[in-house]
């Protein structure tokens, strides 16, 4: 069972539901180690005091907010929690809306919400959890909530998914760019030279390729291909010197005028299509720290977040 990253409660109206927050995604990215190509030795990055050049251990690192040039206020984890205890311990549902009204562009990151005391003899937390889950399921609504995770407040959608309640972090409206900055064609399709025949054929192509949404059908083929290449290099003994990348053909499409009818006919003739981290921090509370002018930061150093 994964470790919870947050414990608190869901609040809507007068109802409080103790819950724990668990990651709902499992990134499967390829991670590469950076090497010095002269002797293939891994490169080490250190936390270094920019004034003394000495390494700094995690125990000596605190979180500082630069309120002026060279002036910092140190904030510990306890300080951040005390700033607003309720906000850091509550998924506060503000409204209920139709899920279909939320533009997918607002969705960011998913988490599971689980009752915080499933093994308790008291049934009230589990009962309240089921109550909210089934109410959302039957009404087709999602809860729009505020929640603080780590050091940032988020807006989120609470919605049912099978036996679970899922908390999807959402982007705030000001975090999305408007498309007005882009040179986009107007909504008048006919005015842009698009004929009725082309549109009918495009609609037919979409209908022929339509299917049920099955996410397990789609695989990260690029990652698989990279892993095959890595295995091939290992078998051939290429494990010490980096190989020069092979020259590839230019597969970019011609950006000139295209024959939509020909492309649509070709598409219709084919049967199917190919779809395509939390740093450990230990902090001490302090009202204010003054940092004097210091030499230029050394390469490889990193300021504490």
Range with the poorest average pLDDT among 27-31, 155-159, 197-201, 255-259:
255-259
DSSP code string of 93-106 = EEEEEEGGGS-GGG
Stretch 45-63: mean pLDDT: 85
Hey, CA dihedral for 100, 102, 103, 106, is it positive or negative?
A: negative
Q: Yes or no: say if 279 and 77 are a contact pair by the CB < 8 Å rule.
A: no
Range with the poorest average pLDDT among 187-201, 251-265, 273-287:
273-287
- The pLDDT-based confidence of 83 (bands split at 50, 70, 90) is low
Whether pLDDT at 289 is above 80? no
Q: What φ, ψ does residue 208 adopt, rounded to 5°?
A: -70, -30
Q: Report the b/e string of 226-242 with b at 16+ CB within 10 A.
A: eeeeeeeeeeeeeeeee
With CA atoms as reference, report the closest residue to 116 among 10, 12, 23.
Answer: 10
Other Cβ atoms closer than 10 A to 49: 14
Stretch 66-88: mean pLDDT: 72
DSSP code string of 126-183 = HHHHHHHHHHHHHHTEEEEEEEEETTEEEEEEEEEETTEEEEEEE--GGGSPPGGGS-
The number of helices, as runs of H, and strands, as runs of E, in the chain is 5, 12
Range with the poorest average pLDDT among 180-184, 223-227, 293-297:
293-297
> Who wins on pLDDT, 240 or 282?
240
Q: What φ, ψ does residue 7 adopt, rounded to 5°?
A: -130, 135
pLDDT of residue 160: 95
Please name the residues in contact with 134: beta carbons below 8 A apart, sequence gap of 6 or more: 160
Whether pLDDT at 280 is above 60? no
Whether pLDDT at 51 is above 70? yes
- The pLDDT-based confidence of 36 (bands split at 50, 70, 90) is confident
Maximum mean pLDDT: which of 9-18, 73-82, 119-128, 276-285: 9-18
The three state secondary structure string of 239-266 is CCCCCCCCCCCCCCCCCCCCCHHHHHHH
Q: What φ, ψ does residue 55 adopt, rounded to 5°?
A: -65, 150
Whether pLDDT at 265 is above 90? no
Quote the CA–CA distance of 292 and 70 in Å, as a whole number: 6
Maximum mean pLDDT: which of 135-149, 183-197, 237-251: 135-149
Other Cβ atoms closer than 10 A to 124: 13
Mean pLDDT of the chain: 76
Whether pLDDT at 48 is above 60? yes
Whether pLDDT at 208 is above 50? yes
Hey, CA dihedral for 122, 125, 130, 135, is it positive or negative?
A: positive
* The model scores a pTM over 0.85: no
Whether pLDDT at 181 is above 90? no
Whether pLDDT at 174 is above 60? yes
Q: Yes or no: say if 22 and 2 are a contact pair by the CB < 8 Å rule.
A: yes
> Who wins on pLDDT, 15 or 208?
208
pLDDT of residue 140: 92
């Amino acid at each position: 069972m994964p470790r919870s990253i947050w414990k608190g409660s869901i609040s809507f109206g007068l109802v409080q539901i103790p819950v724990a927050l668990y990651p709902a995604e499992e990134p499967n990215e390829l991670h590469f180690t950076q090497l010095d190509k002269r002797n293939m030795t891994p490169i080490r990055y250190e936390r270094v005091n920019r004034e003394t050049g000495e390494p700094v251990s995690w125990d000596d690192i605190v979180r500082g907010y630069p309120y002026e040039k060279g002036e910092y206020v140190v904030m510990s984890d306890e300080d951040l929690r005390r700033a607003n205890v309720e906000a850091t311990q509550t998924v506060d549902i503000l409204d209920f809306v139709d899920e279909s009204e939320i533009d997918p562009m607002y969705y960011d990151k998913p988490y599971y919400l689980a009752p915080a005391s499933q093994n308790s003899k008291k049934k009230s937390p589990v009962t309240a959890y089921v109550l909210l889950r089934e109410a959302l399921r039957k009404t087709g609504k999602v809860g729009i909530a505020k929640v603080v995770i780590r050091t940032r407040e988020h807006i989120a959608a609470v919605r049912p998914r099978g036996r679970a309640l899922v908390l999807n972090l959402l982007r705030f409206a000001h975090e999305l760019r408007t498309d007005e900055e882009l040179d986009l064609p107007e909504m008048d399709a006919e005015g842009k030279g698009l004929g009725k025949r082309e549109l009918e054929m495009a609609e037919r192509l979409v209908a022929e390729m339509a299917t049920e949404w099955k996410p397990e059908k789609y695989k990260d083929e690029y990652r698989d291909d990279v892993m095959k290449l890595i295995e091939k290099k290992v078998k051939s003994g290429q494990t010490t010197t980096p190989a020069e990348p092979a020259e590839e053909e230019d597969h970019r499409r011609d950006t000139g005028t295209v024959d939509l009818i020909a492309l649509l006919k070709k598409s219709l003739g084919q049967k199917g299509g190919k779809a395509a981290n939390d740093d450990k921090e230990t902090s001490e509370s302090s009202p204010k720290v003054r940092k004097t002018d210091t030499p230029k930061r050394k390469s490889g150093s990193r300021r504490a977040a």
